[in-house]
């Protein structure tokens, strides 16, 4: 019996992080979105453990892309239902269930590490900004704007060159919206897990992230 291949995650020069072999649907109303969301939930992998008869054995990600064609503006809303972490002793899983639990815990741990690293980097940046004079901030803002314009022009030139050669617009290699590592303190381990790589665009840049946590009051969880 063949097993489903792991999703292939890659960078797209226009859409950021994308997952290959996913179906995309055009939606025009909330009802359209709800229908697809329910279909995805019905296909979600669940299993029975000693803690939960219908335990989620996978994370669920629902992505809604919004595009304003006349301005070429694009936005993305990602709804994520994370599978809960579990202790092997209390869940009493074995075989495939044990492997699923290990992978779930690993991806959740990676997500926590990414969020912690982002918070640390933001706090350090705020502290550095507080030490700068108004003149220095204005000069750096101007230099940053000029650098962004040059980067944008270079990207447009690269896309035009690739198109002229007949290459697919999805075949270009790009570093994405996240800067490469300038120093060890700036490293965010997004690629340590498929989950964190997919959610990267929801955690960086001008994105807004809201998290809701369901915590069990059972003593065994503390």
pLDDT, residue 172, reads: 36
Q: What is the pLDDT of residues 62-103, one digit of tens each?
A: 888 888 877 777 788 899 888 877 777 666 667 777 777 778
Average pLDDT, the chain: 77
DSSP structure string for 88-135: HHHHT--THHHHHHHHHHHHHHHHHHHHHHHHHHHHHHHHHHHTS-HH
What pTM did the predictor assign? 0.64
pLDDT, residue 73, reads: 78
Comparing 167 with 196, which gets the higher pLDDT? 196
CA nearest to 12, candidates 211, 200, 219: 200
The percent of residues above 70 in pLDDT, for the chain, comes to 78
Q: What is the pLDDT of residues 143-193, one digit of tens each?
A: 888 888 888 888 888 877 776 665 444 443 334 444 444 445 568 888 888
Q: Does position 12 have pLDDT exceeding 50, yes or no? A: yes
pLDDT, residue 175, reads: 40
Comparing 47 with 138, which gets the higher pLDDT? 138
Q: How far apart are CA 16 and CA 177, in angstroms?
A: 7
| Integer angstrom CA distances of residue 36 from 39, 42, 54, 64 | 5, 10, 21, 11
pLDDT, residue 6, reads: 62
Phi, psi of 81 (to 5 degrees): -110, 105
Q: Does position 55 have pLDDT exceeding 80, yes or no? A: no
pLDDT, residue 31, reads: 94
- Long-range CB pairs of 101-104 (<8 Å, 24+ gap) are 101/49, 104/57, 104/58, 104/59
Q: What is the pLDDT of residues 25-39, one digit of tens each?
A: 999 899 999 999 898
Phi, psi of 187 (to 5 degrees): -75, 125
Place of tokens 């000693």: 50
């Amino acid at each position: 019996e063949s097993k489903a291949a792991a999703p292939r995650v890659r960078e797209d020069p226009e859409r950021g992080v994308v997952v290959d072999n996913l179906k995309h649907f055009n939606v025009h109303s909330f009802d359209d979105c709800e229908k697809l969301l329910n279909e995805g939930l019905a296909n979600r992998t669940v299993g029975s453990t000693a803690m939960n008869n219908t335990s989620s054995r996978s994370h669920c990600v629902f992505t809604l892309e919004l595009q304003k064609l006349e301005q070429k503006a694009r936005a993305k809303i990602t709804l994520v239902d994370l599978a809960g972490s579990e202790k092997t002793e209390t869940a009493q899983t074995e075989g495939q269930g044990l492997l699923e639990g290990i992978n779930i815990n690993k991806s959740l741990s990676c997500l926590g590490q990414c969020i912690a690293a982002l918070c640390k980097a933001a706090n350090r940046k705020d502290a550095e900004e507080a030490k700068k004079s108004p003149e220095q901030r204005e000069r750096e803002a101007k230099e940053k704007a000029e650098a962004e314009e040059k980067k944008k022009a270079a990207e447009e030139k690269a896309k035009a060159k690739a198109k002229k050669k007949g290459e697919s617009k999805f075949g270009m290699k790009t570093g994405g919206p996240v800067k490469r590592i300038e120093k060890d303190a700036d490293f965010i381990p997004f690629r340590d897990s498929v989950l964190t790589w997919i959610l990267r665009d929801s955690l960086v840049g001008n994105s807004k992230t809201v998290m809701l946590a369901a915590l069990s009051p059972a003593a065994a969880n503390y």
